[in-house]
Amino acid sequence: MIVIDLIHNLTILIALTFLAGLIEELFKKDTTLNLVMQGILFGIVTIIVMLNPFTLTEGLFFDGRTIVVGICTLFFGPLSGIIAAVIAAGYRIYIGGIGLFTGLLTTFGAVLTGYITYLIRKKTNFRFTLLNLYIYGLASNVVVMLLFLTIPSAFRGEALSRISFTVMVLYPLITVIAGKILSMQEDKKSYNETIKKSEEKYRAVHTNAPIPFFTIDMQGKILDCNPEFIKELEFSSDEAVGKNFIGFMNAESKMLFEKILNELNLKGEVQPVELVLIKKSGNYIIIILDAKCGNVRKDLPEIIYCVFKDITKQKIAENELILAKEEAEESDRLKTAFLQNISHEIRTPLNGIIGFASLLSEKDFDKENIKLYADMILSSGFRLLTLINNILDISTIESGNLKINYTSLNLNSVLRKIYNRFFSEASEKNLKFTLDLGESDEKSNIESDLSIIKTVMENLLDNALKFTNEGSINLSYNFIDDKIILKVTDTGCGIPDSEKDKIFNRFYQVDMSISRKYEGAGLGLAICKGMLTAMNGTIEVTSEQGKGSEFTVTIPLRKKKKNNDDFILNEKARAEIRKILIAEDDDAGYDYFKLVLEKNSIEVERAFNGLEAVEKIKNDKSINLILMDIRMPVMDGYEATQLIKKMNPAIKVIVQTANFTDEDRDKAFESGCDGYLCKPISPYELYSSINKIYNDI
Ligand code: ADP
């Protein structure tokens, strides 16, 4: 009977331990609420236990309540123990009877033994084992047995003989079972807490790590990544996880990463490697990736743990340093080459000048060769002058003192003159030299800097002629989208790819050796580039070695506002000019000037040759300006100008001629002319020249 009751109590106790575990899940361990709840739960269980007691006589019964309150105190401390004991005592008082005093004593006695053991455990931190639970069970029930001595003497003997075995043998065993279940729950709970804490710790490291950290499987698929990774690549975690890491790389890095994966699969680790990743925005970053294989547990497959460091800024700075170093070395090389070059470029013409001048100064010099010597001195002088001009130009550009002078000009006319200037040189080298004007004369009136256009085109043609020994040279232009596109194309030696950018650096020449066959100081293209940049223009080259080159110049197009500007005569000129004499043997030439001048209602007269011009001046005092052709029958323009200027220096003479060399020009001014125009002459050029003469008075 007692045994059945005990089994009943034991079942309740086991149910109780599970409920205790549940409460502890719901409320945090060691919180007062948890302790109170445990006390109430164990207290209720004492009542249940008391509902099914082993009764000796009315008011004297035995049950497992001492086990319940004892275990409660042992596991949850004095607060829970006392609450459970008070509930048990309350119910026991309610039942009353002769065993009440002993009942209360044993209940609080169990609390005491529980509490003492609780304190020992707190101090020594021992773990519950079957043995120490049994010792506790035995000790607490010895106390209970001792307290049973307070049972009224009439029942004491029978009571002790009937329940001693149960209390001393079965109660300790029940205590062991209940204690073990509770201690296992306690262990599980603390294990879970340890796991949770370690998980939290791992998460915190993962989330707060100041470097991008991620894991991939052995094929490169991203399994997990931290916020730094997301920040670097700008993809959200959803967009990154599940994708293959290789998908974030440029082509070169992809190949490298495939090798790394193979190595990781074989060896489990690799040396840090540099990769280029492409962010969501399309920008790239350069990283150093460090990766190693590992697994969470031995029974789980291996994965790859990766971290990387963004070294983009470092790399850019490194490259800049390398570039700066290369530039410094290049500049040093250029300086040496320039000094050798410039010395050669100065000495060679000086040699010519001094050599031929000393030949001329010999007493018995060969008089027949006087022209040849003089020509040699002149050409050496011009070569020296070009060099000095180039040095002056480059220093003006580099000091930032280059001024842009926008004036109205007719591009067709400017290019025709440049073309004419180079034509004979090209013919001498048997080169086909062509000019393609992309726009009509009328449309080619623009505003630009004449001197820059001339310098740039002359430098390019100079080079084309210098570096082309057979084939052709072409000069062309057209207007595209508010830009003037000028091209100089040749079939010369061409430029190697590696040199195409460098040739625009000052002093740079593809062949910088002492034995080089082309003259030049390496300044022409640097001057072109400097001047064009100042005009917001560009210069580029396409070239194939051995086949030729094409230089393309782009200048912003500033069209002249009104075409009528071509025919503007300033006030002074309008007031001064009475009649203009056109000395021109060619009818078309005369008709053209007449038409252009009549736009301003200027009266004109014609002379067919120089002599007739002189006669007309003598007879017609109203003529005060002459447009004088040079090549005319009977008397040429130079002679006629000289005679007229002798007769009346106030008469203005503008020479208009097809001769364009510097010598022709000098000769014209020596004969006394006031202005000089090279055919073809646009209306704008004619009026500009007339206006200039009267402005200068
Ligand atoms: P220079 O002509 O005095 O040497 P530039 O600055 O005009 O100086 O040209 C620099 C270099 O560019 C030349 O030395 C030559 O090597 C190369 N170059 C320029 N124009 C041409 C061209 N049309 N064909 C081949 N090489 C050229």
* Contact 463 CB / ligand 1 (< 6 Å): yes
Helices (H), 77-212: 78-95, 100-124, 130-147, 153-165, 171-208
Atom 8, ligand 1: which residue's CA is nearest? 522
* Contact 334 CB / ligand 1 (< 6 Å): no
Q: Which two tokens stand for residue 519?
A: 């003259």
* Contact 103 CB / ligand 1 (< 6 Å): no
Q: What angle do CA 373, 375, 376 make, to 5 degrees?
A: 65
In this structure, the dihedral spanned by the alpha carbons of residues 45, 46, 52 and 54, taken in order and rounded to 10 degrees, is 150
Q: Which two tokens stand for residue 474?
A: 């072409």
* Contact 17 CB / ligand 1 (< 6 Å): no
Name the stretches of the chain with pLDDT < 50: 1
Q: Which atom of ligand 1 approaches the CA of 508 most closely?
A: 10
pTM of this structure:
0.46
In this prediction, residue 515 carries a pLDDT of 59
* Contact 249 CB / ligand 1 (< 6 Å): no
Q: Ligand 1 pocket test: which of 467, 489, 553 has the largest number of ligand atoms within 8 Å of its C-beta?
A: 467
Q: Which atom of ligand 1 approaches the CA of 390 most closely?
A: 3
* Contact 411 CB / ligand 1 (< 6 Å): no
Q: What is the pLDDT of residues 605-655, one digit of tens each?
A: 999 999 999 999 999 999 999 999 998 999 999 999 999 999 999 999 999
* Contact 548 CB / ligand 1 (< 6 Å): no
Q: Ligand 1 pocket test: which of 503, 512, 513, 549 has the largest number of ligand atoms within 8 Å of its C-beta?
A: 503
Q: Which atom of ligand 1 approaches the CA of 490 most closely?
A: 23
In this prediction, residue 441 carries a pLDDT of 83
Q: Residues 553, 485: contact at Cβ < 8 Å? A: yes
Q: What is the pLDDT of residues 453-484, one digit of tens each?
A: 999 999 999 999 999 999 999 999 999 988 99
In this prediction, residue 378 carries a pLDDT of 87
The Å distance, Cα 487 to ligand 1 centre, comes to 15
In this prediction, residue 309 carries a pLDDT of 93
DSSP 8-class letter at 348? H
The Å distance, Cα 538 to ligand 1 centre, comes to 17
In this prediction, residue 335 carries a pLDDT of 77
In this prediction, residue 29 carries a pLDDT of 67
- What is the b/e burial string over 1-12, where b = at least 16 CB atoms within 10 angstroms of the residue's CB? eeeebbebbbeb
Residue type, 666: D
Q: Ligand 1 pocket test: which of 463, 500, 523, 528 has the largest number of ligand atoms within 8 Å of its C-beta?
A: 463
The Å distance, Cα 466 to ligand 1 centre, comes to 8
> What's the CA gap between 558 and 543, in Å, rounded?
29
Q: Helices (H) and strands (E) in the chain — how many of each?
A: 22, 19
Strand partners, 484: 479, 555
Atom 16, ligand 1: which residue's CA is nearest? 510
